[in-house]
Amino acid sequence: MKILHRTEIEKILSSLDPIPKIEEGFVQYSKGLATVPPVGELLMEKGEVHIKYGCIRADEYYVVKVASGFYQNDALGLPSSNGLMLLFSQQTGQLACALLDEGFLTDIRTAIAGAIAAKHLAPANITAIGIVGTGIQARLQALYLKKVTTCRQLIVWGRSAEKTGDYQQDMQREGFEVSIADSIDELAQSANFIVTTTPSTTPLINVSQVRQGTHITAVGSDTPEKQELASDILARANLVVADSISQCQQRGEIYQALKAGSIQGEKVVELGNVIAAGQGRADEQQITIADLTGVAVQDIKIAEAVYLASEKK
């Protein structure tokens, strides 16, 4: 049994491009070739823990992943996310590798899913990328979008002026031109591509703020309690895409919209089917939404890629 620590994992991952593998994982999932049980969840006063696990039946391994979010950790000088991934043989059940990544791989595979959604759903001409939030995903989503779009204009909104200023400086060093929005309304009027990355439990964007031709990737709402988008935005959207329909019926923006009666289940299509059919955005005037709650096939593909690369060394 191999143990990989975060520093090793970061080094290995820097030499890989897991995007095609995770894209393939979404397709396999939507074709019914994966077994992914419901998410295990532990909600506490100061944090939350998600347990995601599953297998792609033709693959060699299955994965059990534990990921946590403790959103007050910043005051303690600690990262908000943590966790690990365990890679087991599908043939024997033996543990092949413990990836002690401290939540790093979860963060990366989430950002990769955002890039994949953008590849199929974003407008061809992105005027600016609006980032709602200033944390880890606010950074990683923008960085991985570099792989699928040439747009380097960011407009960011955050609750903390200090953190928003830090975000602006950090992302300017990454080659972006970054402006700060005083309000969500200003952000939505300036950007036709929006990524929401917060743990908000009340909607941050309302339907009147969303322009025609806008794509929204929602990654913050991954529990039944969280919500970043007003449900009538999904009702207005021309295309609503779930990373997992069954999972999004239980959590995230689609769950909230179904609960409110704003949409019916048949409006939602699954990301793997969009990828396989090559049928995403149809024209530049459509409003499209990707609700990304995080699926175990992402963890399977990224953990497997890192482990197999480590075995070649």
- The residue annotated as part of the active site, out of 65, 119, 146, 163, is 65
Q: How many CA atoms lie within 13 A of 232 on its CB side?
A: 5
| Model pLDDT, residue 71 | 84
| Model pLDDT, residue 83 | 95
Active site residue 11: no
| Model pLDDT, residue 80 | 86
- Which regions of the chain are under pLDDT 50? none
| Model pLDDT, residue 199 | 92
Domains in the chain, start-ordered, CATH in brackets? 2-106+297-311 (3.30.1780.10), 123-294 (3.40.50.720)
CB 75 within 8 A of CB 68: no
| Model pLDDT, residue 235 | 97
| Model pLDDT, residue 278 | 85
pTM for the structure as a whole: 0.93
| Model pLDDT, residue 195 | 98
